Structure 1
């Protein structure tokens, strides 16, 4: 019987090859997106599975209750907790603390930003990160780095034995380099500084039991010790420390153990969380895949029901010959499963094509182990998808009564005469158009941020990372080059988030204002064409040491009156340095477009300058770039030159082209499925009306009249889909834009474009098929029974 089902299914698929291709492509596209989501989910479940003692490692989480009875959970805990657990309880085999550190790391004459942590020496007794070279450090004052970090700092030089320095950490000798593996971990790092116990205990209030937001605590239990024993101890410690608690806004806190295996995916939102993917994000990804697959299933249902009358006659004849309903049901389900298996093969090919994409590697499948379990999940998912897609048409067609279907020409109807297949077409194009409006909005916003007007000069300005080259030395080599208009520098290029400091009008003020501060070099205002609205530019030399420039927003935040009134007034930086306002610059967008314009302070200190900025005259770009590179190479012959035009820097930072390409791929799949479904429906509709078209042509109907007759119902469906999608798409786009302080608008340029694309695609599909039917020879149509 199964063999007969297979033979009939193959013959049916081959006979209606166009509909089969449409169904296979649609199902394969949906399966491919679902496979990416499934692989990501598997990767999330595999986090930290490479540690030898994974089942015995726990992270201590802190739950707090505020005096307003609000609850929150922190992934961090007090630093003394780790020592207390290891010292006082025999069932704890080991413990370690992990503290996030900040600030640039200096090594090999370079100053760069890295993801850094300070850890106990016992850290490597808990975790099993693989070593590429060197050895695991056993004492404080040492560090381990990743292979990528070693390459950035030392190039091909052996980093073992080299010294790294970070503010607050001091000097650390590199003893080991960790492998760049694809294994996934909730703890990501570039550099781990190993500190002595005494030093890490003093780190950021580390001796204070009431400071629970500084570092992470991990414990390794002895074999055969249950988590309940640890929980009992944590409850006792919580009660003991709550009796001493004297925090201003905290009523009480408690500790609980979180097993390493349960950290990823994250099922709750933890303050100071690490790098594990949230469960909600994984479900959203799976939702996108299921919606895509659902659209493909719509096509299958739609096309199968569209051919309902021809299949209904088949059902009638088979029932008349004695076939039972479950046998007919099995036949149609078998066809669906065979199609899904063919779609699985095509989905594999499509998966191989999208796997190299940077977005896919970084955010979805990087580090995922493609083992037999994952492939088995893909196959099972494909079969289940085929069964579910074929179940509805199979049930509908298998319950037709022979007498009714052999004499009746009525189609399938649902609520109040609305055709089910027409409803599915509307749903498909509505989903596709909503996605298109959202994607176009994202693309326009990112293009706006990449090429928008920031208020400072970015065209023909070179950004050159200095490394350990003194600013004055490189500036002396470049200033007099032909084509160079101005030379200056800054601690961090505009368009980035920058760093903030607490600023006060008076040293003893209790309410400081957070302001963005940048160290700059002389001629900065001229180099970036900034506008002074009052006061004067900073003078060159030591006379500028205690002078600053602020923006108009800082004048408002500090309540300094007008811009002219602010000149000459004093401010305190971080409670330690008094400076005087020399001038006020016109407001401009110096950070990301996510934020409104914030208070800005520019202080002339070449010691803090990390990037040189060179303003170049029009027409001299190529020459100056080459000469600047030569000057750099003379000073640093063994380092690569990384100078970049400022407008290119802004474009690369904000365009996110890899993300856009992947989203465009999803949109293309969505529209392809919808358009192929429409093509199949129009093709079938014209085929079933061939005799009608022939009669109308014989009676004198024109080609245009016949085209409109055949296509008007489909045009109505596209119009209905647009009417549904336009407001929903606007809401989806606005939900994305609301997080930006400065953003594009969603108007006719977006909605009109998307509506036009919908009409053009739909119109081409409808018109090409209906024109062919309208221009065919009516004699052939009338002679074909």
Structure 2
């Protein structure tokens, strides 16, 4: 019986090639997105599975209670916690801390921006990140690095025994090279640095202050046989004990709780300062996008199957008269849908191979995911289920026709006031596609705004040059002598990035601290970037004053530190980064970091040891000559290193124009519109075929081609307008849901909604007119003779 069902299904699909092609392509598009999401979701449950003691390992979370009694969960915890747990509780076998460190890493004549963590010796006992060679970094002043990082610094040479430098923390001796992890991990790093006692002493506010709960992560390994409830039970009393008598600036207090390493990924709670485990919300969003795409393809299948309901209804009637039961008729239709699903799965595999090289797919969805037999079995099963669900509705409807009724005529399927089910599905398809397009265009406009907006500092004709290991005072004087160079200013980082933050206070032990961004800057920096000094003087104008004691802050820092007016702030001191600094100048507020944040306090210091870039202001018309001359000077000093100079404009564009992400989103929108247009094409094709004689008679009676086209098209045009009426307000809300996360953002107006509406009408009109114009040009004699 099943063989007969399969044979008839294949014949039916071959007979109606256009409809079959539309169904297969639509389902394949939806399956492609769904399979990517399934692979990512399955991969989320494999995080950290290679650690042998993962069932006894826990991360300590901090629940911070604000002044308004709101609770904010943090993935981080105070740095003294690990030592107290290991010292005071005998059921704790080991405890370790992982602290994110910042600053470029230099070594072997190269300076790289890397992801670095400082860890305790117990870290290598709790976690089993494999070593390719060497030993763990357990002694003070040592580090281990990944194979990729070792190659970036030292090429094919053996890195063990060589040193690296990060900031002023002293040289780090490389003791080992990490191998590729057998599974993904919630911690990502390029270098692991030993958390030495000497390094801790430099930052007492971080390592010994129980009020600092957001600087690092604490992990605990319980002894064998210890129930996790024992640790959970002691944490509330421990939190009360360590916070007793502490004065918090913005919080009432906090409490601790555990998070098992086995349940860490996917993350089921939105944590502050979280690590790199996938979030359940993001995974569900990915799956939702795939299901919506698949649902649209399912709409096509239902639509086109029901569009041919007249012929299929007579088929059903004949089958039933011949003695077929309803479940047998349903099985026939379900067999057809399964065949379509299997063909779509094959096409989806091809489409997966086409999108696999995309950076977004590699980084966020596939990564190191292994396409093994269980994963393929899941995809195969999902495809079969999708096919059965797509065929369920038409199978139920068509198998329910009464033989006597369908052999005489065909009744329409109605859902709302004469709006047929087929038409409502077309409206839904185009509405979903239009909402997706509005969302994508809003995101692209926001990215373009961040890339081209006025940041408040000079970005035109400014050449940025990474220094590598060259001292700024060696390179800058040579560049300043070039014709067309207006000024040269050194800095530790480029504006427009996230920057580096430290805590600033009015006094050393004052509770009213505020985070402040900090940049090390050199002589002529303010005039190079045209920063507006509204009070005080420029302390960086003299190269001799390099102590960093005199600083420049912005207006927001004056407000947050309550220093009065900008002129009143001059001469006052603040406690910042472990030192007491004097305010020498105040610059007007400008946007120096991500547009996701409002303007934050800013501290500019003269610290030559942290200079990593030169900003070179170039006169108009001299850009090409200056860049060539700077490249010549660079090659003379660093003949084996490539010249990496970049214009500030280009840096900001690359920083904020995420083309990989928008390309993938554009692919999804393109698939959605393709599915919708193909479904509409199928419906128009069927509609014109059923009205062939009508068209012929109208042409014989003198109707013009334009009148015929409008007659055949107007019903579908109204469907497009209805889809737009539904989608435009929904797309407006979806766009603002994205813009809500940015402190500075574009608006959604007629330029966005109108452009998307125009694309909808254009694609829809082309799809409709393609078939209706052909029908209108047909020979009326042949049309009237058509059976």
- For each residue in 1:507-562, what CA deviation from the matched residue of structure 2 results, as whole angstroms up to 9, or x when unmatched? 89764665544332233344334455566655334369766555555566677777
Q: 1:240 to 1:734 in 2, by over 3 A?
A: closer
Cα distance, 1:350 vs. partner? 0.4
Is 1:142 aligned with 2:157?
no
Which residue of structure 1 aligns with residue 718 of structure 2?
Answer: 716
Alignment of 1:576-615 (within 5 A): 576-582=579-585, 585-615=587-617
Q: 1:677 to 1:244 in 2, by over 3 A?
A: closer
> Whole-Å Cα distance in 2 between the matches of residues 716 and 241 of structure 1?
64
**1:230 aligned to 221, 228, 231, which one?**
228
Is 1:372 aligned with 2:373?
yes
Cα distance, 1:666 vs. partner? 0.4
Which residue of structure 1 aligns with residue 500 of structure 2?
Answer: 499
> Whole-Å Cα distance in 1 between the matches of residues 545 and 175 of structure 2?
45
The answer as to whether partners of 1:121 and 1:140 remain within 8 angstroms in 2 is no
Q: 1:647 to 1:72 in 2, by over 3 A?
A: closer
Alignment of 1:229-628 (within 5 A): 229-236=227-234, 238-239=236-237, 242=240, 245-246=243-244, 247-248=246-247, 256-500=257-501, 511=512, 515-531=516-532, 539-542=541-544, 548-551=551-554, 565=567, 569-572=571-574, 574=576, 576-582=579-585, 585-628=587-630
Alignment of 1:726-765 (within 5 A): 726-765=728-767
Cα distance, 1:407 vs. partner? 1.1
**Secondary structure of the equivalent of 1:542?**
coil
> Whole-Å Cα distance in 2 between the matches of residues 285 and 531 of structure 1?
45
- For each residue in 1:211-263, what CA deviation from the matched residue of structure 2 results, as whole angstroms up to 9, or x when unmatched? 7655444344566x3x6x23225424644664565045688876555332211
The answer as to whether partners of 2:102 and 2:500 remain within 8 angstroms in 1 is no
- For each residue in 1:592-618, what CA deviation from the matched residue of structure 2 results, as whole angstroms up to 9, or x when unmatched? 222334444544554443211112344
Alignment of 1:178-257 (within 5 A): 178-181=178-181, 183-195=183-195, 215-221=216-222, 225=225, 229-236=227-234, 238-239=236-237, 242=240, 245-246=243-244, 247-248=246-247, 256-257=257-258
Q: 1:204 to 1:132 in 2, by over 3 A?
A: farther
Cα distance, 1:317 vs. partner? 1.2
Q: 1:69 to 1:723 in 2, by over 3 A?
A: closer
Aligned CA RMSD, in angstroms, stands at: 3.2
Moved more, 128-137 or 459-468: 128-137
The answer as to whether partners of 2:23 and 2:301 remain within 8 angstroms in 1 is yes
Task: Give 5+ residue unaligned stretches, structure 2.
Answer: none
Moved more, 4-13 or 245-254: 245-254
> Whole-Å Cα distance in 1 between the matches of residues 253 and 526 of structure 2?
52
Is 1:667 aligned with 2:669?
yes
Cα distance, 1:208 vs. partner? 7.3
**Secondary structure of the equivalent of 2:164?**
strand
> Whole-Å Cα distance in 1 between the matches of residues 140 and 509 of structure 2?
38
Cα distance, 1:753 vs. partner? 0.6
Cα distance, 1:733 vs. partner? 1.0
> Whole-Å Cα distance in 2 between the matches of residues 617 and 253 of structure 1?
55
> Whole-Å Cα distance in 2 between the matches of residues 343 and 517 of structure 1?
54
> Whole-Å Cα distance in 2 between the matches of residues 3 and 239 of structure 1?
69
> Whole-Å Cα distance in 2 between the matches of residues 62 and 266 of structure 1?
15
The answer as to whether partners of 1:311 and 1:397 remain within 8 angstroms in 2 is yes
Which residue of structure 2 aligns with residue 654 of structure 1?
Answer: 656
> Whole-Å Cα distance in 2 between the matches of residues 136 and 623 of structure 1?
50
Aligned residues: 780
Cα distance, 1:79 vs. partner? 5.6
Which residue of structure 1 aligns with residue 695 of structure 2?
Answer: 693
> Whole-Å Cα distance in 2 between the matches of residues 527 and 103 of structure 1?
23
Q: 1:339 to 1:543 in 2, by over 3 A?
A: closer
Which residue of structure 2 aligns with residue 158 of structure 1?
Answer: 158
> Whole-Å Cα distance in 2 between the matches of residues 707 and 199 of structure 1?
79
**Secondary structure of the equivalent of 1:459?**
coil
Q: 1:472 to 1:63 in 2, by over 3 A?
A: closer
Q: 1:86 to 1:359 in 2, by over 3 A?
A: same
Moved more, 7-16 or 60-69: 60-69
Q: 1:259 to 1:419 in 2, by over 3 A?
A: same
> Whole-Å Cα distance in 1 between the matches of residues 88 and 121 of structure 2?
19
**Secondary structure of the equivalent of 2:20?**
helix
Alignment of 1:69-218 (within 5 A): 71=71, 73-77=73-77, 82=82, 94-108=94-108, 112-166=112-166, 170-181=170-181, 183-195=183-195, 215-218=216-219
Cα distance, 1:685 vs. partner? 0.4
**Secondary structure of the equivalent of 2:456?**
coil
The answer as to whether partners of 1:307 and 1:684 remain within 8 angstroms in 2 is yes
Moved more, 87-96 or 107-116: 87-96
The answer as to whether partners of 2:117 and 2:191 remain within 8 angstroms in 1 is yes
Alignment of 1:670-685 (within 5 A): 670-685=672-687
Cα distance, 1:100 vs. partner? 3.3
**Secondary structure of the equivalent of 2:417?**
helix
Q: 1:619 to 1:279 in 2, by over 3 A?
A: same
Q: 1:496 to 1:60 in 2, by over 3 A?
A: closer
> Whole-Å Cα distance in 1 between the matches of residues 63 and 518 of structure 2?
35
Q: 1:722 to 1:179 in 2, by over 3 A?
A: same
The answer as to whether partners of 1:447 and 1:654 remain within 8 angstroms in 2 is yes
> Whole-Å Cα distance in 2 between the matches of residues 714 and 318 of structure 1?
34
> Whole-Å Cα distance in 2 between the matches of residues 268 and 559 of structure 1?
36
Cα distance, 1:401 vs. partner? 0.5
- For each residue in 1:97-145, what CA deviation from the matched residue of structure 2 results, as whole angstroms up to 9, or x when unmatched? 3333344444445555433222232322332212233233454432111
Cα distance, 1:406 vs. partner? 1.2
Is 1:704 aligned with 2:702?
no
Q: 1:149 to 1:404 in 2, by over 3 A?
A: same
> Whole-Å Cα distance in 1 between the matches of residues 80 and 551 of structure 2?
42
Moved more, 742-751 or 368-377: 742-751
> Whole-Å Cα distance in 2 between the matches of residues 452 and 328 of structure 1?
63
